[in-house]
Structure 1
Amino acid sequence: MVKDESKLLNVLKVLAGITITVVIILFIIAYQIGVEGLDKSNRSTIISGLLSMIGGTIGAFGAYFIAKWQMTVLLERQDEKDRKKIAWEININKKQEALQILNNKIGDFQKIKEEFAKCNSYIINYLEVHEDNNEHIIYPDELFDEYLEDAVKCVGSIRDFEKAYQIIFSYKSFFKEEFIEVIEKFKKNYKQIAIELANYIQLANFNEGEYPIEEFKVTWLEDRGKMNVIVVSIQIELENQANTLNLELFEIVNNG
């Protein structure tokens, strides 16, 4: 459509130029013939012809400027349409990137859950082996030395996740305000959660010393129950964030 308008504009330019040229030539011819030397009827005919040509010239110029104005408006609308399309595509691409990052973070946290479960399993196995004999636990020497490697790895993963999650904030300009509030709240809460999980895994709630195994077990199981709820809630929150972004993408694509 733009090309057709451009061709029309060029044709009108040529017609206007030809018309002006013809008018000038006729004017010169009329002058050379000597309009004043002609009789009244011939003079009127020539003048009428010149006026018609001038009128045609004005009409040609009018058509040219109208076509030019139409062309300018069309191009502006086309530019605006192109800009909107580009902005629409960028918005989709960035949301897709953010969604992929969130899905990756969900996968990363799943690995943390596995490390967390491994740490719990170690304590459970230890308690099962020793509780029948009503033994005492000397903490941290007896238990913690063997447990330390897995505990350190899990705590490191929990802290690394907090840093890795920050990348989602580089896409803030493409998020709705409600979603920004969600991820900012999650970030704030996770700082405290990371501390609580690290303390639990490192058995920080226990002071150094000797514990009857049943006392140690009751305290640890109580802490484990709280931490399991926290871990599951983080997983659910991450999945909800991904679902929200996925829904936004669906709406944008369908609304075009």
Structure 2
Amino acid sequence: MNRIKGRILTGAALLFSFALAVTVWAITIQSLGVDSTNKATIISGLLSMFGGMVGAFSAYLIARAQITKQLDLQDKKDRNRVLLETRLRKAEEVLEVLTRTKMAFFGLQGSWTSILHDHLNYIADHLREAVVYENLRNEELLEAIDHRRDEFITTYSGCYKYRPYFPDLIGSIERDHNNIFKNLTLDINSVLYVFIGGDSNFQTYEDLLKAIEGQIIQINSNFKVTMDMIDIQIINTENEINNLLINFEE
């Protein structure tokens, strides 16, 4: 719209110059007469004046085009800078989410270690006895690990909303979550389900222990893998921030 308006104004200015030159020429001829000996000189002067006007407007148009081009480049640079600033802020937010995810992970791992130690010690002391779930359950520890598990899931899920800004980075994080993180929490749920008596087919604590030993080993292994993945995700996000900073400084 601004360019169209500029062209209209430029055309109007040129028409005005032409009209002014013609008017001056007409008035001059009318005053001095058609047969005036100065006619050639006057016409030459008027043509020179009109040529000067055209030259001036040509110079104006060239200067205006250069200024417009420079402003367009500056606008593009400013827009790119704003976009970089936005992406940089979002990348920092992703890093914050991953840092909180790491803290939530430590909380979950601590709760898992506590409940496992408590329940396995009780099982070891009553190995060949009949299972009494009311005696096995530690409600306080079960409530704590439920909270830690939910906190972990909620925290790492906070990364997903940044996918429009960093599709590759967040896509990689989502795959890690789906392949490892969710399996970790589901396996924990499975063991807790046994501890609270969800599966009451066990005659003795020894039978119960044999049923969950493999899962416990897998969970402990997944804790290590999950920790490594969180560290990699943090490193990848830091690299993304560094790349944005490099582009920002250019």
The within-5 A match list for 1:100-119 is 100-119=96-115
CA distance in 2, matches of 1:195, 1:155: 12
**2:194 partner SS:** coil
* Equivalent pair of 1:138/1:209 in contact (CA under 8 Å): yes
1:220 Cα offset (Å): 5.6
* Equivalent pair of 2:122/2:136 in contact (CA under 8 Å): no
* Equivalent pair of 2:128/2:205 in contact (CA under 8 Å): yes
**What residue is the counterpart of 1:171 in the other structure?**
162
Q: Normalising to structure 2: TM-score of the pair?
A: 0.78
1:104 Cα offset (Å): 0.8
1:109 Cα offset (Å): 1.1
- The question of 1:188 aligning with 2:178 is answered yes
Match of 1:209 among 182, 203, 207: 203
**What residue is the counterpart of 2:241 in the other structure?**
249
The within-5 A match list for 1:1-256 is 23=21, 26-27=24-25, 29-39=27-37, 42-126=38-122, 130=125, 136-141=128-133, 143-145=135-137, 147-177=138-168, 179-189=169-179, 190-203=181-194, 207-212=201-206, 222-256=214-248
Point out the more displaced range, 103-112 or 30-39: 30-39
CA distance in 2, matches of 1:255, 1:85: 9
CA distance in 2, matches of 1:138, 1:154: 26
Point out the more displaced range, 240-249 or 147-156: 147-156
CA distance in 2, matches of 1:220, 1:33: 116
Deviations 1:88-124 (A, max 9, x none): 1111111111111111111111111111111122135
* Equivalent pair of 2:111/2:141 in contact (CA under 8 Å): yes
Q: How many residues are treated as equivalent by the alignment?
A: 233
Relative to structure 1, is the Cα distance of residues 167 and 106 closer, same or farther in structure 2, using a 3 angstrom cutoff? same
**What residue is the counterpart of 2:5 in the other structure?**
none
Deviations 1:99-153 (A, max 9, x none): 111111111111111111111221354356x37xxx63432436423x2331233
CA distance in 2, matches of 1:140, 1:238: 39
What 5-or-longer segments of structure 2 have no aligned partner? 1-9
Point out the more displaced range, 216-225 or 230-239: 216-225
Q: Normalising to structure 1: TM-score of the pair?
A: 0.76
* Equivalent pair of 1:27/1:50 in contact (CA under 8 Å): yes
CA distance in 2, matches of 1:148, 1:21: 97
Deviations 1:196-237 (A, max 9, x none): 11122343587443235xx76666655433221111211221
**What residue is the counterpart of 1:4 in the other structure?**
none
CA distance in 2, matches of 1:206, 1:116: 22
CA distance in 1, matches of 2:65, 2:208: 86
* Equivalent pair of 1:151/1:202 in contact (CA under 8 Å): no
1:238 Cα offset (Å): 1.4
Aligned-partner residue type, residue 113 of structure 1: Q
1:182 Cα offset (Å): 1.8
Relative to structure 1, is the Cα distance of residues 141 and 176 closer, same or farther in structure 2, using a 3 angstrom cutoff? closer
**2:158 partner SS:** helix
Aligned-partner residue type, residue 198 of structure 1: N
Q: Percent identity?
A: 23
